[in-house]
A and B are shown apart, each in its own frame.
Chain A
């Protein structure tokens, strides 16, 4: 069972570059989210989606875009990378019961 597949696992970007973090789930969940995790800050919600075509902002949305064209995929786009976006990013797919299944994470460094 694949569950949640998140790529890449590691990425180094230069300031100003853009990139897309990919997230795919095969559990047919309507709800998906993106989080970033920084030391001492826990997981902070960037964007979330309650179904295909529907997205909304979380706690820290600035500098990120998302789209949800299919139930399976929920990519996160960094428009113009900044050092403040250095973090570990997690994609989550959430069941109707509220259980979140996470991808393995992406360790992003912006230099």
Chain B
């Protein structure tokens, strides 16, 4: 079983839709969590960190559920430019050994 698991998608949604991705992690000692965005044939870039109390950045909301060991990403009012692969990441703070999920592909159509 992979340490970090995601639904690969693709999620195909119209512009303006709300879409949510979930991610589960198996190592209960994981301390830090992140969502990264990766465009086709490009390097991943940090989208947002995920805090225990949940956090919001514009149209993006991230939440963490430690009891169930999953994190989520909600995108509201989807834009065409949101089309990308979204990578869930967990890490052990002591080493910053970042473990990536396989990614969820999002396609936003006009």
User: Are B49 and A98 neighbours in the complex by a CB distance under 8 Å?
Assistant: yes
Give Cα distance in the complex from A50 to B42, angstroms. Answer: 25
Q: Which of B32, B43, B49, B99 contacts A102 (CB 8 A)?
A: B43
Give Cα distance in the complex from A28 to B49, angstroms. Answer: 21
Q: Which residues of A contact B93 (CB under 8 A)?
A: 98
Q: Which residues of A contact B43 (CB under 8 A)?
A: 90, 102-105
* Among listed B58-66, B69-77, B100-108, interface-contacting one: B100-108
Using C-beta atoms within 8 Å of the partner chain, give the interface range for chain A: 20 to 34
Using C-beta atoms within 8 Å of the partner chain, give the interface range for chain B: 20 to 34
Kindly count the residue-residue contacts between A and B in the assembled complex, taking CB atoms under 8 Å apart.
59
Interface residue ranges, A against B (CB under 8 Å): 31, 33, 35, 40-45, 48, 50, 56, 58-59, 90, 92, 94, 97-100, 102-105
Q: Which residues of A contact B101 (CB under 8 A)?
A: 42
Give Cα distance in the complex from A105 to B36, angstroms. Answer: 16
Q: Which residues of B contact A98 (CB under 8 A)?
A: 32, 34, 49, 91, 93, 96, 98
User: Are B98 and A41 neighbours in the complex by a CB distance under 8 Å?
Assistant: no
- The minimal Cβ–Cβ distance linking B38 to chain A, given in whole angstroms, is 9
- Given A90-B44, A105-B43, verify A48-B103 contact (CB < 8 Å): no
Give Cα distance in the complex from A98 to B97, angstroms. Answer: 9
- Given A98-B32, A98-B34, A99-B34, verify A43-B96 contact (CB < 8 Å): no
